[in-house]
Amino acid sequence: MEVAKAAGYQLPATAGDLNKVNNLDYPVLGIFGTGNLPVQWDKVPAAVPNGGKLPPTVCRQNPDLPGDQPQLSAMTTKAIDLLVNSKKGKDKGFFLQVESASIDKQDHAANICGQIGETIALDEAVAAAVDFARQDRNTLVIVTSDHGHSSLIVPDDFNSPTTLSVAVKTADGATMRIMYPTAPEGESQTHTGTQVRIAAYGPGAANVSGLTDQTDNFNTIVGALLGPKSPDAASGPSWWAAGGIAVVAAALGAAAAFFLGKRQT
């Protein structure tokens, strides 16, 4: 923090501070907590062995969520606004990453309410990016995940003396049971190698439909940033119609991240 301050960085620490940042004349470094930020939804007891004997819980807004902590969607909107309106952003384009890592952290902790709440935060941030893409008309939005995770939806009557599970009430009043089979109680659940979802919106979106290698996302983003004349783009698939801004979000059971890039016009 002191090094950044000495270097002239703008250092917003609250949502109010972030709202006041209106230019990139100096770099911006927002530090909104001393560690992992509090989750959006209230943390319920983690899944337990023989969890089928416990009644379903209701996920709620985290009462300890600081009122001055900016939402991920607000951070995303602010970052886009600053970059779009900066001189370099206007002249040469930009590349931006936004991450919501606590989806993954809450899955490791077998905390279903934490997972759902952080995924909703991601969804709101994706909506902010797509809103921008609709207005800009030259923006590619990609949503995917860097890996799978351990939480599985299982039948409500699932009952095991050794495997962790927990039940929650859904918005429509149904019961949803989640199983965490990769680690015993009190230990960290693990990543999995399952195929993960990928979706896209905007120019070039057809190039990420269905199945794709994650490494191909690199070429897709380079093409959106630099166009088909780039050496890296030349080795990729034929998506030359891709627009000037690439947005990637890693989500689901893993960390969430956006990557925005606008090529020079």
pTM, full prediction = 0.85
In a domain, 15, yes or no: no
* Residue 147 annotated in ligand binding: yes
* Residue 104 annotated in ligand binding: yes
| Enclosing domain of residue 212 | 40-48+64-150+187-262
Question: Does residue 238 register a pLDDT over 60?
Answer: no
* Residue 149 annotated in ligand binding: no
**Which of 45-49, 151-155, 195-199 holds the top average pLDDT?**
151-155
In SS3 terms, 104-131 reads as HHHHHCCCHHHHHHHHHHHHHHHHHHHH
Question: Does residue 253 register a pLDDT over 80?
Answer: no
Structurally, the chain folds into a number of domains equal to 1
pLDDT class for 264, splitting at 50, 70, 90? low
Average the pLDDT over each of 20-24, 52-56, 151-155 and give the range with the smallest value: 52-56
Segment 177-186 shows an average pLDDT of 91
In a domain, 133, yes or no: yes
In a domain, 171, yes or no: no
Instruction: Assess contact for 38 and 102: CB atoms under 8 A.
Output: no
Question: Does residue 182 register a pLDDT over 90?
Answer: yes
From the list 244, 114, 121, the residue with the least C-alpha distance to 189 is 114
Segment 212-222 shows an average pLDDT of 83
pLDDT class for 221, splitting at 50, 70, 90? confident
In a domain, 128, yes or no: yes
Instruction: Assess contact for 122 and 100: CB atoms under 8 A.
Output: yes
Average the pLDDT over each of 57-71, 165-179, 226-240 and give the range with the smallest value: 226-240
CA distance 191 to 252: 12
In a domain, 1, yes or no: no
Instruction: Assess contact for 207 and 220: CB atoms under 8 A.
Output: yes
Strand order in the sheet with 164-169: 48-49, 164-169, 175-180, 152-154
Locate 63 and state its tokens: 């009462």
Q: Which residue has the higher pLDDT, 42 or 71?
A: 71
In this structure, what CATH number is given to the domain that contains residue 244?
3.40.720.10
- CA of residue 51 relative to chain centroid, distance: 29
43 CB-near residues (< 8 Å, 6+ apart): 62, 111, 113, 114
Query: Would you state the pLDDT for residue 230?
Result: 52
* Residue 2 annotated in ligand binding: no
In a domain, 199, yes or no: yes
Question: Does residue 176 register a pLDDT over 90?
Answer: yes
* Residue 118 annotated in ligand binding: no
* Residue 146 annotated in ligand binding: yes
Query: Would you state the pLDDT for residue 261?
Result: 52
Instruction: Assess contact for 51 and 154: CB atoms under 8 A.
Output: no
In a domain, 240, yes or no: yes
Query: Would you state the pLDDT for residue 99?
Result: 76
In a domain, 113, yes or no: yes
